[in-house]
Structure 1
Amino acid sequence: MTKRSNSPLDRPGVRIGVGLLAVAVLLLAWEIIGSSNAIPFLVPFSAAVSSAFSLVTGPELLEDVLPSAARAASGFAIGSALGVLVGIPLGRVKGLDPWFRPSLEFLRNTPLPALLPIAFVAFGATDETRIGLIAIGALWPVLLNAIDGARAVDGRLLDAARVVGVPQWRILIRVVLPAAAPQIFAGLRIALGIALVMMVVSELISSTSGLGYLVLQAQRSFALPQMYAGVLLLGVIGGIFTLIFAVIERRALRWYAGQKGLNDA
């Protein structure tokens, strides 16, 4: 039985308050340093916020901001779904591992940015190609965590399902998938960050829209407030995606959180 800490910092409200205070201090420092011109090309935080407001209330919202968010969300969803659909069978059917492991390791260790020129030459610099690259980036952490999670399922659960005559495909869906869900969600959290990074990287090359394109063009034309505004909006999009993901994760793993709490008590 593990003794719970009684430290005030362990309270959720206190943790949130400390986190918000730290963010406020950083933003205040940004404002002061930017206003003092102590660092060249660093604009004040207020100027970046003003420019960001102009972007989300202007045509850039439909031309750059929302298309970027849609590409990131689509690529993340496709890559995550493929990771689960492929990873669960690979984790349970041991005979498949020798056939697929070498190819998976080769592809996993190939730097994704190096695939951008090849993909654009082969398939064109289209939204579909960018979404595909984002999906590839999101695929690996979900796939590997799904494989490990499926392999770690308690054998007693599988034996009990077989004894009562549950078909193999239903065992994968009703037993293996829920048991592997905590590890899969850990991979999904990593994949979300990779999807956002790949979204920006894919928009830096041969693009005519998107936040990555907007930031690059602003940097080239020395429109510094707009450049920092684009970075701020990328952070906001990432925060919104993370918040939505946290809500889904909390609901999907409610049983696991309760079980973990009992084990830690």
Structure 2
Amino acid sequence: MSLLHRITRATVAALALPGVLLALWWVLTADSESYYLPPLSQILTSFDDVWLSDRLTADVLPSLLRLLGGFLLAVLLGVGLGVLIGSSRRLRAFCEPVLEFLRAIPPPVLVPVLMLFTGIGDTMKVLVIVSGCVWPILLNTVEGVRAVDEVLVETCRCYGVRGPARLWHLVIRSASPQIVTGMRQGLSVGIILMVISEMFAASNGLGFTIIQFQRTFAVTEMWTGILLLGVLGFLLALLMRLFERRALNWYFGLRQAQRGGSR
């Protein structure tokens, strides 16, 4: 199967269900006279005027930058601490109760606390995103490091592979499938927290703008914001999948070879 054929099939598979749902939304709301559920055609007509203007740089771009900053910081913290904790059985046993306690705290609850210490600026919003994104990445990294093949560990020891080379080529490489899984989960959480953090004492951002539309009964404009969030979530998930295919190309190739050999 050619590369173009695979890309075409993947694109069709990814767009098929969203296309069907949008078509149903269009048909079911075509004759809607409800103020709170306007027709999709009306929402799409307003979309350009609402978002493809000054709000693109005033609200959408700041939100994406906060999400990017919080997500990257969560990746650094999650992978760094995950490798450290996963590599030591004693440290893992010592930290597990604290990790379970902190993980159980819903990140939105931390918004008022973070506002007391950091104010209402971008720092608070980034930290809220970090507080939710870091847990899937951290816990998946710990499990990935724990699951490193003992045969490979012994092989590295016999060949004298130590230090940074062992960390990069054995530990992180072996745990990378689960690390990327945690990153994908963390990104979904980060999008939610990006919106929530901007609903508290903010002056810009997607969450702030959508809640302002709701408070002023600009229902059609509010729906355009919800639609935009869905589109951004889809595009970010697609980029994450492309990154996964690129970063784990060796892993998918190995799985394909194993399936071919088992036939």
Taking structure 1 as the reference length, the TM-score comes to 0.90
Given candidates 222, 228, 236, the residue that maps to 1:227 is 222
CA separation in 1, counterparts of 2:137 and 2:19? 34
Q: Using the aligned pairs only, state the percent identity.
A: 36
2:65 is equivalent to residue 70 of structure 1? yes
Q: 1:92 to 1:19 in 2, by over 3 A?
A: closer
Partner residue in 2 for 1:43? 38
Report the CA distance shift for 1:108/1:219 in structure 2 as closer, same or farther (over 3 A). same
Deviation larger for 44-53 or 56-65? 44-53
CA distance in 2 between counterparts of 1:173 and 1:61 reads: 39
Count of equivalent residues: 255
Q: How big is the shift at 1:169?
A: 3.8
**Partner of 2:102 in structure 1?**
107
Counterpart amino acid of 1:153?
Answer: V
Partner Cα distance (2:45, 2:33) in 1: 21
Task: State the Cα deviation string for residues 188-228 of structure 1 (Å, max 9, x = none).
Answer: 11001000000011011111111111111101111112101
* CA-atom RMSD in angstroms: 1.8
Residue deviations 1:8-57, cap 9 Å, x none? xxx87557536534333322222233332265511122222222212332
Whole-Å separation in 2 of the counterparts to 1:249 and 1:18: 17
| 1:96-136 per-position Cα deviation (integer Å, ceiling 9, x unaligned) | 11321121111001111111111112221110111011012
Once the two structures are superposed, the pairs formed by residues 63-212 of structure 1 within 5 Å of their partners are 63-212=58-207
| Distance change >3 Å, CA 22–CA 167, structure 1 → 2 | closer
More displaced, 196-205 or 159-168? 159-168
Larger relative contact order, structure 1 or 2 (CA cutoff 8 Å, min sep 6)? 1
CA contact (8 A) 1:33 1:39 kept: no
Whether the aligned pair in 2 keeps the contact of 1:69 and 1:237 (CA below 8 Å) is: no
Structure 2 gaps, min length 5: 1-5
| Partner Cα distance (1:90, 1:259) in 2 | 28
